[in-house]
Amino acid sequence: MSDQFKRMQPCPSTPNCVSSEVESGSQSIAPLVSAGDGETLIEALKTYLEKDSAFSIIEVEAYYLRAEARTRILRFVDDVEFQVCPDSNQVDMRSGSRVGYSDLGKNRRRLEAIRKFLIEQKLATS
């Protein structure tokens, strides 16, 4: 991978993380597929996260976005990342809890809700 691309953090062995860089198993989630190019999808993700008070954007580059998400009740911080795959319209994504063992599926639901919104807006195809 080129130096211009930042690598997402790997998921720990605990079941409180999902990532499209995990090939199979309970931590695996499909990447986003942009209806246009990956950089446009990163910009759309930034706009979406800015409008949701649960998220704080930490870092944005042309090919990478990192945010923190706070859970509503206990206010735990989860890390959320999106990264454009080189030479494709695919965007890898990851959401993982910083503490605890199980997230009761919260990280997967979070990313699937984002995917659903992007598909409804015709910004992503899957």
CA distance 20 to 121: 21
- Structure token digits, residue 101: 């063992």
Q: Stretch 92-120: mean pLDDT, rounded?
A: 93
The overall average pLDDT reported for the chain is: 89
Res 5: pLDDT: 61
Res 1: pLDDT: 40
Q: What angle do CA 88, 48, 67 make, to 5 degrees?
A: 80
Q: Would you say 103 and 79 are in contact if contact means Cβ atoms under 8 Å apart?
A: no
Residue 35: Cβ-neighbour burial (10 angstroms; 0-12, 13-18, 19+): middle
Confidence class for position 2, pLDDT limits 50, 70, 90? very low
CA distance 32 to 49: 16
DSSP assignment of 85-105, as one string?
PTTSSEEEEEEEESSSS--TT
Domains parsed from the chain with CATH numbers? 17-120 (3.30.310.80)
Res 3: pLDDT: 47
pLDDT tens digits along 67-91 = 999 877 777 899 999 999 888 889 9
Res 22: pLDDT: 92
Res 87: pLDDT: 81
- Among 89, 90, 112, smallest CA distance to 28 is for 112
pLDDT tens digits along 25-64 = 899 999 999 998 888 899 999 999 999 999 999 999 889 9
Q: Stretch 112-122: mean pLDDT, rounded?
A: 95
Q: Stretch 100-106: mean pLDDT, rounded?
A: 86
- Structure token digits, residue 23: 């090939």
